[in-house]
Amino acid sequence: MSLLSICREAAAEVGVSAPASIIGNGETTAVRLLAAAKREIFGLSRSAAWSALVKEHSFATTTGASAQTGGLPEDFDYVIDATAWDRTAGRPLEGPLTAQAWQSLKASAAAPALGRAFRIFGGEFHLYPTPTTAGDEIAYEYASATIVTAAGGGGQSGWLADDDSFVLSEELATMGVKWRFTKAIGLAYDDHLNEYLSVLARTIARDGGRATLRLDGPAGLGLPRLPDGDFPES
């Protein structure tokens, strides 16, 4: 579904006349629908680490400064916790550190427990200690800020045209626009919001699947296994 179809469907469900266009339309209904659609895709995209938005990024270390060239991709939104690794050394990175922990490390000149630590600030990916060798591979997963697809196929961070489409659930986007628009025009919106939150919770729970919890440990990770069969009585 496109921006226009999402907004028109939401308007129809609320019971108001659906506008013929959204972008560039100065009519009050179109303006309010666009505002609701902007808020919805921003809020929805940040409500979970959606599998459709998660990507992997890797770069080679550079020397001379803690800020790493190529450390952040252009569409970076936020890093997925506990996914940053020094693949050359075969060990995880410590971080992302808080500002306080980062400054404490730099002031004490102590070595991080895991060998290398990182922090993201100033629009750059920083490593501590500053690398002394170039070319080590650092990799991590992140959430992309590209949440809208243009009709021509390019990615973008917001609505630019009526035929743009949302990367995530269009059903949720429509439901989100409906309750936000209903609130904006002063009508009761609690039922619409509760329905939206219910579907949102189920969608988040199912997104990307879930690991099977096993008493004998995850398969293939070389972890100790409990024996199959009954346990002996004590």
85-103 pLDDT, tens per residue?
A: 999 999 999 999 999 999 9
Per-domain boundaries in the chain: 3-49+146-206, 54-144
- CB of 129 within 8 A of CB of 116? yes
For residue 10, the SS3 value is: helix
Contacts of 13 (CB under 8 A, 6+ apart): 174, 178
Cα 54 from Cα 83, distance rounded (Å): 11
**Shortest CA distance to 167 belongs to which of 180, 179, 157?**
157
Show the tokens assigned to 230: 């009954």
Q: How does residue 22 score in pLDDT terms, banded at 50, 70 and 90?
A: very high
Is the pLDDT at 179 greater than 80? The verdict is: yes
The pLDDT assigned to 112 comes to 85
> What does the alpha-carbon distance between residue 201 and residue 115 come to, in Å, rounded to a whole number?
38
Each residue's pLDDT tens digit, 95-148? 999 999 999 999 998 888 788 999 999 999 999 999 999 999 999 999 999 999
Answer yes or no: is pLDDT of 156 > 80: yes
Hey, how many other C-beta atoms are within 10 angstroms of the C-beta on 221?
6
- Kindly give the residue spans of alpha helices, DSSP state H, lying in the chain: 3-14, 28-45, 99-108, 170-184, 190-206
Asked if residues 114 and 133 have their Cβ atoms less than 8 Å apart, the reply is no
Question: What is the pLDDT at residue 49?
Answer: 93
pLDDT of residue 225: 54
Number of H helices, E strands in the chain: 5, 10
Tell me the whole-structure pTM to 2 decimals.
0.84
Confirm if 115 and 89 have CB atoms less than 8 A apart. yes
